[in-house]
Amino acid sequence: MRFIVDVHCHIMTLSRPNVGTFIDALAHRPFEYLNRQIAAPRYLLTSLFSNRGSAIRNTIAVADNDASAIIGLMHDDLAGTIGPADTNPILHNGAFHILGDIYDSMIICPLLMDFSRPARITPDIYYNQPTEKHHTFTILEILHGIRQYLKEHQKPHRRGFLQHPAQGRLIVRPFLGVDPSWMTPDEVLIFLNRYFRSYKRDLNKQVKASLALEHWDGSLNRLPPALFSGIKLYPPLGFDPWPDNPLAREACKTLYQYCEQKQIPITTHCDDGGYRVIPLPEAEHYTNPERWLPVLEHYPELYLNFAHFGHRYQENRKTANSWTDSIVTLMNRYPHIYTDVSFNGCDFAYWTWLETFINSKTDTISELLRNRIMFGTDFLINLLKIDSYRSYIKGFLESDLDHSLKRAMLTQNPLSFLFI
């Protein structure tokens, strides 16, 4: 079996985000949110008013589905059966056709987000009880979605023979969102054991685990093993990689030790955008790659992906690459530091910038980057800036990046991050 990988996407329905917490934060810090988030250049306000708000309406049109329908939309878009006619679809004849090669299947990694952290602000409204966003509902939503997608997209036949059950399908390998810093160390361990006790960095076993969901009875108490491929951490929601509070730090250390021992990959948000509910200076402090220095000093073998390559949309030219440069430094120091370029490629000029950036480095660093940068889309969030899942992928494939780098970003780099 040959696979391509989208290492960073989202299968998120409208019921998942904690919208009330976001609005409360906006109400308490209106200037900061309007200036640096909602009305930031080329961000939400632009999407709302440009072309009659088509970007916002397009995003909601996807998020207004259930999880299985969103996965199905991604599949059908690549097959060219929805949207504008595609004479050369990526998915046809039961296989994925990329860069002149044929791949059996595509692994996608939807990153679940933990919206269950208690809000810091008690709203000055009548119904001011904390919103219930328990991670269990997020987990059930994605697992039911995978199961239904597998049932509706049956195993294809080619030339009269039944192929491998993964053939021509999206293999959905979620990352489980969690914020350990507001849990006790024991609670973190119970949580991790529940979902990762049988975890193995084995490609075949993880693919089989995902396909087994087709026959799952829907009970959270009878989950097939090895359903998650990693952990997702999200600083703009309040996660601090190395908290000052001793109990919170012990809880985080429990997570890091567990992930290092079992080689479970972690993806952490790392750009200055995103879904933020804490003050901007605090969010930037937690998101800065240098905040991970004490973590990696204690746990140097962690598999850690800094999403979005530390892109800073709202900084001046002198500081725009500061987080990116920090990530490169960490890559050179630790053996399992990776980055993805999800969302960044909504501006197709980014691919030219990336090629120039890599080539500007020494031969050693350039080679390191070519082995550690991974392809991701940030679908469906990227619909704020691009019209479809297909468009983002084709923009990448048709870019000026050399073919060997594109192939590495789609195949061996994410496969090395995710599996043995």
Q: What is the DSSP string of 154-211?
A: PPPEETTEE--TTTTSEEE-PEEE--GGGS-HHHHHHHHHHHHTT----HHHHHHHHH
The residue range of the domain holding 257 is: 3-418
Q: What is the tally of helices (H) and strands (E) in the chain?
A: 17, 14
Q: Going by C-beta distance under 8 Å and a sequence separation of 6 or more, which residues neighbour residue 28?
A: 121
pLDDT tens, the chain, 420 aa long: 899 999 999 998 887 776 666 666 666 666 665 556 655 555 566 666 677 778 888 999 999 999 999 999 999 999 999 988 898 999 999 999 999 999 999 999 999 998 877 666 677 777 777 666 677 889 999 999 999 999 998 655 444 433 567 777 899 999 999 999 999 999 999 999 999 999 999 999 999 999 999 999 988 888 888 899 999 999 999 999 999 999 999 999 999 999 999 999 999 999 998 888 888 899 999 999 999 999 999 999 999 999 999 998 876 555 667 999 999 999 999 999 999 999 999 999 999 999 999 999 999 999 999 999 999 999 999 999 999 999 999 999 999 999 999 999 999 999 999 997
Is 401 in a helix, a strand, or coil?
Answer: coil
Q: What is the DSSP letter of 111?
A: B
Q: Rounded to an integer, what distance in angstroms lies between the CA atom of residue 6 and that of residue 75?
A: 13
Q: Rounded to an integer, what distance in angstroms lies between the CA atom of residue 356 and that of residue 349?
A: 11
Q: How far, in Å, are 112, 172, 176, 411 from residue 12 at the CA level?
A: 8, 13, 13, 25
pLDDT at 99: 95
CA 237 to chain centroid, in Å, comes to 15
pLDDT at 221: 82
Asked if residues 358 and 399 have their Cβ atoms less than 8 Å apart, the reply is no
Q: Is the pTM of this model over 0.85?
A: yes
Structural domain count, the chain: 1
Beta bridge partners of 232: 177, 267
CATH number of the domain where residue 124 is located: 3.20.20.140
Label residue 51 left, alpha or beta by phi (over 0 means left) and psi (-120 to 50 means alpha).
Answer: left
